[in-house]
Amino acid sequence: MPKLVDHRERREAIAHALWRVVDGQGWAGASLREVAREAGVSLGQLQHYFASRTAMLAFAMEHAAEQTSDRVARGLAALDQPPHPRDVLRVVLTEMLPLHPDARASSRMSAAYVLEALHDPALRERAGLGLRDGRALVERLVREAIAQGRISPDRDPDVETDLLLALTGFSTLLELGVVGPQAALAAVDQHLDRLFDGA
* pLDDT (tens digit per residue) in 86-95: 999 999 999 9
| CATH number reported for the structural domain that contains residue 154 in this entry | 1.10.357.10
Asked if the structure places residue 64 within a domain, the reply is yes
Is the distance from CB of 117 to CB of 123 less than 8 angstroms?
yes
Confidence of residue 198 (pLDDT cuts 50, 70, 90): low
* DSSP 3-state of 148: coil
Average pLDDT score over residue span 61-73: 89
pLDDT in tens, 123-180: 899 889 989 999 999 999 999 999 999 999 999 999 999 999 999 999 999 999 999 9
CB 22 within 8 A of CB 30: yes
d(CA 52, CA 32): 7
pTM of the model: 0.85
Residue 117 lies in a domain: yes
91 and 75 Cβ atoms separated by less than 8 Å: yes
Nearest CA to 31 out of 47, 13, 53, 49 is that of: 53
Residue 144, domain member (yes or no):
yes
What total number of domains does the chain contain? 1
Give Cα separations from 140 to 77, 81, 88, 147, 198 (angstroms): 19, 19, 12, 10, 20
107: which residues sit within 8 A by CB, 6+ positions away?
Answer: 96, 97, 98, 171, 175
Asked, for residue 14, whether it belongs to a domain, the answer is no
Is 84 part of a structural domain of the chain?
yes
Give the residue from 69, 50, 61 showing the smallest Cα distance to 27: 61
Higher pLDDT, 115 or 182: 182
Residue 18 in domain:
no
- The average pLDDT across 4-16 equals 83
- Does residue 145 belong to any structural domain of this protein? yes
The answer, yes or no, to whether residue 1 has pLDDT greater than 50, is: no
The answer to whether residue 187 sits within a structural domain is yes
* Dihedral, CA of residue 170, residue 93, residue 27 and residue 173, to nearest 10: 10
**In this structure, what are the phi and psi dihedrals at residue 180, rounded to the nearest 5 degrees?**
-95, 170
Residue-number span of the structural domain to which 115 is assigned:
53-196
